[in-house]
Each structure stands twice: as C-alpha cells, then as structure tokens.
Amino acid sequence: RAKADGRNRARHYDAAMDEERRQRRWLAHELCDAVTRGELHLAFQPIADCATRRIIGQEALARWTHPVLGAVSPDVFIAIAEEDGLIAEIGQHLLVEALTVARQWPIEWMLAINLSPVQLRDPALAARMLAAIEALGFAPCRLEVEVTEGVLIDERDTAMANLRALRAAGVRIVMDDFGTGYSSLSSLQQFPFDKIKIDRSFIAGMNEEGPALSIVRASVGLGRSLNIPVVAEGVESEQQYAVLQALGCEQIQGYLIGRPATFQAKAA
Ligand code: C2E
Ligand code: MG
Ligand code: MG
Ligand code: MG
C-alpha cells in the first residue's frame, strides 16, 4: 500500500513537471511574438536626491502584459528570454524605447537600465548599445547601467570588456542589489563601480531589531570611502527615509517617492 502511494505521488509529480515544462515552452513561444505584438513595454520609477527629495532620474523596468495571462513578472520573462536566446533582441528593443522616452525628460535627469549577467556575456553588447545611444543623440553620461555581482562570475572577461567599453564612453556602472550576493565586496574590488545600490531587503530590515541598520550604515560608509554615491532601493516609509537621511545616504528610490509607472513622471 505504501508502495502504491509512492508510485501515485511520483506519477503526480511527473505530471506536474510536464505541465510546468509545457507552460514554459508556451510562454517562450508567446514571448517570441510579444515584441512584434507590442506587448513589451517599460515602467519608469523615479530616483531622488536624498537631501532634497528632488527627482534626479528614473529607472526603466521591463513589463510584459500578455493578452491572456496579464502581467508577467520580469524575473520570469527575462529568464525565459535568456534561455531561448531572445534577450539580445528584447534588450536592444527596450533600450531604444527607454532612450526615446528619456530624451523628453529634463536634461539633468539620468536614465537607469538593468543588464543581466547573460546579456553581459554577449561580446557585441556594448558596441550595439553605444550605437543606439549615439543614433538617438543621448548623452552617455546621462545613462546608468545596473548590474548585479553575478556578471563578474562566469565569462568574466567578456562581461568586464563590455562594462569597460560602456564606462569609457561615459556610462556609469551601478552595482545593483548590493549585499545580497556571495561576494559583493569582492566585486567592488574587481571593477570600479560608479555607484552602489543597497538591496531593498536591508532597507525593509531596518524596521526591525537586528543587523540591517548596521549593514546599511556600513554600506553608506563604504560608498563614502570609495568616493561613490550610494542609493537605497525599496524606501517605503518616512521613517526609513529619515534614517537614510541621517546616515548620509545620497539617493533614494522606492514607493515613498514613486511606484514604477508607465507614464512619465512630471519634474518635481
Ligand atoms: P531591480 O533592478 O532590483 O528592480 C527593483 C525592483 O523592486 C522592481 O521590481 C521594482 O518594481 C521593485 N520596487 C521598487 N520600489 C519598491 C518598493 O518601495 N518596495 C518594494 N517592495 N518593491 C519595490 P520589478 O520591476 O519586478 O523588477 C524585478 C527585477 O527584474 C529587477 O530588479 C531587475 O533585476 C529585473 N529587470 C527589470 N527590468 C529589466 C530589464 O529591462 N532588463 C533586465 N535585464 N532585467 C530587468
Ligand atoms: Mg535595478
Ligand atoms: Mg535592485
Ligand atoms: Mg533585483
């Protein structure tokens, strides 16, 4: 009887796996058409100067609204795009859209975009991006590229070459989700990042007793001694804001300042 139960469970498990694989194949197929069907777009979330709360730029965040499924998380569809070799096309499409929107912003605002480790492994990435930036007449010094420390793990030489080429053109390179990886400090030693973005889990953790506040304080101090600005992501409350301001954090981003929105935020 126990054996029969086990077999049933195994069969059930196999069926669930099959279903998951089928769903994923279907999603990949749908994603293939998403660009031409105009289902992919960007949301923009403001980044503000901490001392004055004035908006200094916006981060572009990818959105996919599927006609049947509705909103699919970027964490899901970026991964699918990477596995199915669609990421180069989608990434370039989103970059052009982001630049086109950002061209209409106040001249002092910067645009931040995200690049995944897989994107950085493409030897042609930086040249392709810089060509679009030039073609659209966008000043490279207004662009920030957010990467996680994962970019420096596999095929490190290609990733570094891309980051160096972007940086040489004036693009700033930001370490995103700082503190969550296996070797955040080590990556700061491997590449001259221009800014540190503290992961939102530490900002959320400041509400409770525990080490989060110390970690945020140390991260702000780290930025200061490296002579690069620090931005806190996921700032949701006035209380968190007050703490960050007292610590001397340079920039903030989060629902307190603005949620990602598909329309353009007005200048503050
Ligand atoms: P990320 O770059 O760390 O983006 C921050 C995420 O935190 C976004 O989720 C944003 O909506 C969310 N967020 C912002 N403020 C708050 C807040 O105050 N509270 C809370 N709880 N959450 C907040 P989203 O848009 O789902 O993006 C998830 C991740 O997907 C991004 O993390 C980024 O790594 C990736 N991603 C998004 N767009 C792109 C893209 O165009 N290309 C690539 N390669 N990756 C992208
Ligand atoms: Mg980001
Ligand atoms: Mg982040
Ligand atoms: Mg993230």
**What percentage of the chain reaches a pLDDT higher than 90?**
81
Query: Which residue pairs from 41-45 have beta carbons closer than 8 angstroms and sit at least 24 positions apart in sequence?
Result: 41/65, 41/97, 41/262, 42/94, 42/97, 42/98, 42/101, 42/262, 43/260, 43/261, 43/262, 44/101, 44/260, 44/261, 44/262, 44/264, 44/265, 45/253, 45/258, 45/259, 45/260, 45/261
pLDDT at 81: 94
**Which ligand 1 atom sits closest to the C-alpha of 43?**
25
Residue 114 Cβ inside 6 Å of ligand 1? The answer reads yes
Nearest CA residue ID for atom 29, ligand 1 = 75
Section 117-121 average pLDDT: 95
Confidence of residue 1 (pLDDT cuts 50, 70, 90): low
Closest Cα to atom 7, ligand 1: which residue? 234
Asked if 232 contacts 238 with a C-beta cutoff of 8 angstroms, the reply is: no
Report the pLDDT value the prediction gives residue 237, as an integer from 0 to 100. Answer: 97
pLDDT tens across 199-252, in order? 999 999 998 888 999 999 999 999 999 999 999 999 999 999 999 999 999 999
The CB of 76 under 6 Å from ligand 1? The reply is: no
Q: Is 112 helix (H, G, I), strand (E, B) or coil?
A: strand
Q: What is the pLDDT of residue 263?
A: 64
Q: Which residue has the higher pLDDT, 268 or 207?
A: 207
Residues 167-204: tens digit of each pLDDT: 999 999 999 999 998 888 999 999 999 999 999 999 99
pLDDT given for residue 136 in this prediction: 97
> Is 219 near ligand 1, meaning CB less than 6 Å away?
no
268 confidence band (pLDDT: 50, 70, 90): very low
CA distance 43 to 116: 17
Choose the weakest-confidence range: 10-24, 51-65, 87-101: 10-24
CA distances from 175 to 131, 134, 135, 218 (A): 23, 24, 27, 16
Instruction: Over range 79-93, report the average pLDDT.
Output: 94
What's the pLDDT score for residue 4?
Answer: 62
Task: Return the closest-CA partner of residue 147 out of 137, 162, 133, 157.
Answer: 162
Q: How far is the CA of 185 from the centre of ligand 3 (A)?
A: 16
